[in-house]
Structure 1
Amino acid sequence: MTPDNPVGTPADPPVLTDFTDGVAQLTLNNPRRKNAISLEMAALINEFCDRVDADDTLGAVVVRAAGSYFCSGADTRDLANSSSDPASPEAVSRTSAVYGAFVRVGTLPVPTIARVAGGAVGAGLNLALAADLMVVTPDAVLDSGFLGRSIHPGGGHLALLGRAIGWSGTIALAACGQSLTGTEAVARGLAYTAVPESELDSVISGLTTPAAADPELTRRIMRSARLELGPPAVSWSSALEIERGVQMWSMARKGQSAWSSRGPGR
């Protein structure tokens, strides 16, 4: 899949997008700063999410980055400006814009997959955790990063870590300054799988192709998953009722004649 805009020219926007075969791809394109997220990039991410929300032919999203590093966090120039008066309306607006873009990614109506090579730190880890699945290289470094910069985590960082690796893992990363390799992240449940960088795109294609083949069904599955699993999660009995009507819709759509006694799912 090739972004709409080719990489490498000075006129390149800092976020590239592509919409092909039911898969939407967002590429962070700020490699000189390890793809640190600027306010301009946050606005472009929101525009991308607007299109995904509105286009029912899209069944999956991939978030990736140009260069060898996924994302080093929020742009330090914006953080420096905000630090002069963190409670000012301007500072609150800056941080809210960046974190709000991540919330948009994390609540899209289709499965989102973060392609993480090199590393993800601070707000960059937030972006990777906002995705539904993280596919990483074994040597990628996943680092909370906030403690190392002597600031408190932001953007729901603790909640994002907690839903993936629980209390002790969250405290180890956020309060004790530990980090995880891609391989360790998979073992702890933070990432879905770790493969060499040369295999990342193939693995991701294997995930997005089935999701994009039936966007309507995929979107309904994701709606139910977000209702049931949260955060916050619901009880099993509530999950049964959430799924009941949508499963009935899918069965009616399939029709009696489409079922076969031969083979699973037929």
Structure 2
Amino acid sequence: MEQLPHCETLLLEKHGPALFLTINRPDVRNAMSLQMVAELSTIFNQIEQDNTIRAVVIRGKDGHFCAGGDIKDMAGARGQKADEGQHDPFYKLNRAFGHMIQQVNESSKVVIAVTEGAVMGGGFGLACVSDVAIAGPTARFGMPETSLGVIPAQIAPFVVERIGLTQARRLALLGLRIDAREACALGIVHQAADSETQLEELLQATLERVRLCAPNATAETKALLHRVGHEPMNKLLDSAAETFAEAIRGPEGAEGTMAFMQKREPKWADDSN
């Protein structure tokens, strides 16, 4: 991504190997519109081919992460009728979000969610597909769908993967809202900051660890983790051994070993590379 594209719902800034992606709809607590879904999907599609980007930091502008789906889009879909043989407009709206969140989930980049204020519905789902989630002191998480007469159709599977069926049942069936501390205890987020200052410190510490880890090895490891539970273990371990052999004989394996022996940082830790 030589030049960052212009987005109407997102702010994009590149700092070293990290792309900072800020949801920019503060007037509606960064609620997720169809346009935002399309722009997120476009960005994640483009960065997949960009080796200079190793991490994506997602956060919301002006104190809120994302308050869920945009009511205006839902109202618009209600006024539309499905053409004969076509899917219901509500299906298309909901499924578009599902495609995007799956794309974020399976991205080869390290996805870091910095959550503050409202982290509801689709925003909650976005936090649940991050590789690292950090919560600020104002963060409030929830799956309010059942209290609104709808279902968390696209996020529920990812919530179950994140925290397990038992806890997902409680949150989803009661439409609960929880604070950052409980979200951390449940495993929705990995760290909960006591202050805005600490939140930034935790983010910088995470980005420092991304800098020190080999990009290709990180991407292969993430892909391997996603395969667990979806294929026979023997087949998975055979495949993982082949990938391991390729990695240790490859340029990153050679450089990592040499850097360790020479007591220096590996070349990939240089932000200018």
Q: Identify the match of residue 181 of structure 1 among 179, 189, 209.
A: 179
Residue of structure 2 in register with 1:14 after alignment? 9
Once residues 22 and 95 of structure 1 are traced to their aligned partners in structure 2, the CA distance between those partners, rounded to angstroms, is 32
Q: Percent identity?
A: 21
* Counterpart in the other structure of 2:269: none
Q: 1:165 aligns with which of 160, 163, 166?
A: 163
Q: Deviations along 1:100-122, whole A, 9 cap, x unmatched?
A: 22221111112211110112111
Residue 247 of structure 1: how far off its partner (Å): 1.8
Question: Does residue 244 of structure 2 align to residue 247 of structure 1?
Answer: yes
Letter in 1 for 2:67: S
Distance 1:234 1:203, change over 3 A: farther
In structure 1, what is the Cα distance between the partners aligned to 2:172 and 2:49? 36
Say if 2:105 is the partner of 1:99: no
Q: Residue 150 in 1 paired to residue 149 in 2?
A: yes
Using the size of structure 1 for normalisation, the TM-score is: 0.84
2:59–2:115 contact (8 Å) kept in structure 1: yes
Aligned length: 253
Q: Distance in 2 between matches of 1:197 and 1:44?
A: 28
Residue 139 of structure 1, CA deviation = 4.1
Q: Distance in 2 between matches of 1:158 and 1:85?
A: 26
Whether the 8 Å contact between 1:21 and 1:212 is mirrored in structure 2 is no
Letter of the 1:154 partner, please give it.
Answer: A
- In structure 2, what is the Cα distance between the partners aligned to 1:234 and 1:192? 27
1:207 aligns with 2:202: no
More moved, 76-85 vs 33-42: 76-85
Name the SS for the 1:13 alignment partner: coil
The CA distance in 2 between the partners of 1:243 and 1:204, in whole Å, is 30
1:213-232 equivalence runs, <5 A: 213=212, 214-228=214-228, 232=229
In 2: Cα distance, 1:26 partner to 1:237 partner:
39
Offset, 1:12: 7.7
Cα contact 1:22–1:215 (8 A) shared by 2: no
Report the equivalent of 2:270.
none
**Distance apart, 1:84 and its partner CA:** 4.6
Distance between the aligned counterparts of 2:262 and 2:19, measured in 1? 35
User: What is the correspondence of 1:53-92 to structure 2 with a 5 Å cutoff?
Assistant: 53-84=48-79, 88-92=87-91
Residues 7 and 39 of structure 2 are in contact (CA less than 8 Å); yes or no, is this contact kept in structure 1?
Answer: no
Alpha carbons 2:106, 2:223 under 8 Å: kept: no
Of 88-97 and 190-199, the range deviating more from structure 2: 88-97
Structure 1 residues 141 and 28: alpha-carbon distance in aligned structure 2, compared to 1, 3 A threshold: same
State the Cα distance separating 1:93 from its structure 2 match: 2.2
Cα distance in 1, alignment partners of residues 42 and 72 from structure 2: 23
Q: Answer yes or no: is 1:49 the counterpart of 2:44.
A: yes
- One-letter amino acid of the counterpart of residue 36, structure 1: A
Query: What is the CA–CA distance in structure 2 between the aligned matches of 1:194 and 1:44, rounded to whole Å?
Result: 29
Per the TM alignment, residue 178 of structure 1 is displaced from its structure 2 partner at its CA by: 2.0
Q: CA separation in 2, counterparts of 1:197 and 1:233?
A: 39
Is the Cα contact below 8 Å between 1:37 and 1:74 reproduced in 2?
Answer: yes
> CA separation of 1:216/1:184 partners in 2, compared to 1, >3 Å: closer, same or farther?
same
- Please identify, of 12-21 and 146-155, the stretch whose mean Cα deviation from structure 2 is larger: 12-21
In structure 2, do the counterparts of structure 1 residues 174 and 92 end up closer, same or farther at CA, with 3 Å as the change threshold? same
- SS of the residue corresponding to residue 217 of structure 1 reads helix
Contact 1:58 1:215 (C-alpha < 8 Å) held by counterparts? no
Structure 2 alignment gaps of length 5 or more: 267-273
Separation (CA, whole Å) in 2 of partners of 1:34 and 1:12:
18
Whether the 8 Å CA contact 2:136–2:196 is kept in 1: the answer is yes
- Asked if 1:35 corresponds to 2:33, the answer is no
Q: What does residue 8 of structure 1 align with?
A: none
Moved more, 139-148 or 241-250: 241-250
Structural RMSD (CA)? 2.8
